[in-house]
Every structure is written in C-alpha cells, then in structure tokens.
Amino acid sequence: MAVSIDDLNDSDRQIWEEELAEFVPERMFDAHCHMFQIAHMRPGAPLSSRGEADLSTLRAWAEALFPGRRMNFLVLGLPHLGIDPNLHNPFVSEQVTQDP
C-alpha cells in the first residue's frame, strides 16, 4: 500500500519540532528520488504498489516533512519491470525542467 501525506501524525510533527527543525538547513537537495505514473506501465505489466508521483507530489511531501524548507530534486528514471520508457522518460524530462 502506498504511503499518503495524510499518514503523518502528531508524533511525526512533534519529532520535527523538537528534534529536527533547528538542525535541518533552509535549503536541501534530495539526491535520489523517482517519479511514477501508472499510465506509463505496459499493458499486462505486473501491478505496482507505488503511489503516483510527479514534481508537485515531491514538493508536497517535502513541505509536509520539512515545513518552511526549500528542496530541489535529482530525479532518476524508475527501474520498474514493465515500465514503458517511451512514455516514462519524456514525462520525467518534462517534470524536471520545472525544478531549478
């Protein structure tokens, strides 16, 4: 099952406020993340439990996990059995052009 931003709870927020907020820098760089769209899977490919993710999803997670911080991303292609690179690669390329 995919994890949702809605799964964050009061304990997660408390850890951020009490242990991480003063430690985490204002700017961060996620050097390893993947984007995924179910529509990029070839017909008949094994089902994936991954949640769909585009740049707006990555940004929403970053804001939820690290409020008030600026995060940029190094996005890698998704090595998933059955993904169609002719659909996936242009999507990833279009998404990363939106992130400096």
| pLDDT tens readout for residues 20-53 | 999 999 999 999 999 999 999 999 988 877 788 9
Question: Which is it for the CA torsion 19, 21, 27, 31, positive or negative?
Answer: positive
Question: What amino acid is encoded at 29 in this protein?
Answer: F
> Is residue 13, in this structure, part of any structural domain at all?
no
> Is residue 80, in this structure, part of any structural domain at all?
yes
> Is residue 7, in this structure, part of any structural domain at all?
no
Question: Which is it for the CA torsion 100, 74, 19, 12, positive or negative?
Answer: positive
> Is residue 58, in this structure, part of any structural domain at all?
yes
Percentage of residues of the chain with pLDDT beyond 70: 98
Per the structure, how many domains does the chain have?
A: 1
Residue 22: per-residue pLDDT:
94
> Is residue 88, in this structure, part of any structural domain at all?
yes
- Rg, Å, the chain Cα set: 15
Give the structural domain span for 87.
27-96
> Is residue 5, in this structure, part of any structural domain at all?
no
> Is residue 82, in this structure, part of any structural domain at all?
yes
Q: Are 69 and 26 in contact (CB under 8 A)?
A: yes
> Is residue 51, in this structure, part of any structural domain at all?
yes
Please give the Cα distance from 94 to 55 (Å, whole number). Answer: 10
Residue 2: per-residue pLDDT:
63
- Which is more confident, 67 or 2? 67
Residue 1: per-residue pLDDT:
55
